[in-house]
Amino acid sequence: MSALRARIDVVGSCNADWTVRVARLARPGETVLGGDLERRGGGKGANQAAAAARLGARARLLAAVGADDLGQWLTSDLEALDVDVSAIQRSPRPTGVALITLDELGENEIVVAPGANGDLDLAAVDLNSSDVLLASMEVPASVVDDAVRRARRAVLNVAPVREVDPETLSRCGVVIANEHEVIGLDVNALEHVIVTEGARGAVHLSRGRVVTRARPPMVESVDTVGAGDVFCAAYALRWARGESSDEALRYAVVAGALATLGEGARGALPTDGEVRQWLERV
Ligand code: ADP
């Protein structure tokens, strides 16, 4: 691996998140008026690639968007965040969109139209040029299975909850899940599972036994959406560098915590320098 910048391939979704804030969520058949539409780049793959780039990696996003204005906008947005967008594919289907309504209590309703994400096809893409491949489950499972098989080292974020081929899981160097996602995993069968536990941090399990645990710093969280994506990018990068699980976990929980300091999934992506500063303090 280059001594300077780690290279990471991120396989996953690329969506536009359209959010409207409402006083209360609509009941079936009802219309409610909300605030102005907020449009942000989202999707777990795109968020993880943006987080990795911000942490200093050469991050290539392997995703599919539509041949439409939205796809163009998402791609330009990621390019401005220093993500390598050269392998983003254009599908005849519309760009993936998440329609989100958010009420005053923070309760939400989300409908996802995956569109182009369903067309991702990596058969012709060389997956051997990166130090690590990070995949998540908002793209077809067969694409993830194949990418994990072909990558030199793979980290799988089993989010959102989906059934995953046990062989794919066992081929991954590390599997990352949050407290909900881990319920469906047979952790006793897996060598390295990281479970993120929100404000309580994260734990590394090996065949079901706790190897190490890390707690994040106490921060004034504004929005925890996307914290898990930053955590995954941070952990994958440190792991690819050959750091001990202890070090990688401590780094990733700080990165995840700092990501909660701004609104939206990409509102507070931390730099490597910022994470290190916090690590020196604790
Ligand atoms: P997900 O977003 O996938 O559900 P988690 O909520 O478990 O993931 O968060 C991932 C990581 O982000 C945690 O391990 C932790 O480091 C950090 N994090 C999340 N919420 C908080 C919080 N309220 N305070 C501090 N750190 C947090």
pLDDT score for 3? 54
Mean pLDDT (the chain) is 95
Give the tens place of pLDDT for each residue, 15-35.
Answer: 999 999 999 999 999 999 999
Question: What pTM, to 2 d.p., does this model score?
Answer: 0.96
> Which residues of the chain fall below pLDDT 70?
1-3
Pocket probe mutation, ligand 1, options 176, 182, 249, 260, max atoms within 8 Å of Cβ: 260
Judge whether 77 counts as a catalytic residue.
Answer: no
3-state secondary structure of 71: helix
Name all residues whose Cβ lies below 6 A of ligand 1. 159, 178, 196-199, 201-202, 216, 219, 221, 224, 227-228, 231, 253, 256-257, 260
Q: Which helix (H) or strand (E) holds 276?
A: helix 272-281
63 is written with which tokens?
Answer: 């995703």
Q: How much distance in Å is there from the Cα of 178 to the middle of ligand 1?
A: 9
pLDDT score for 1? 46
Ligand 1: residue whose CA is nearest its atom 21:
199
Q: Could you check whether the bond before residue 160 is cis, i.e. omega within 30 degrees of 0?
A: yes
Give the tens place of pLDDT for each residue, 111-142.
Answer: 999 999 999 999 999 999 999 999 999 999 99
Instruction: Fill in the DSSP letter of residue 130.
Output: S
Classify strands 96-102 and 108-113 as parallel, antiparallel or unpaired.
antiparallel
Residue 199 neighbours by CB under 8 Å, 6+ apart: 216, 221
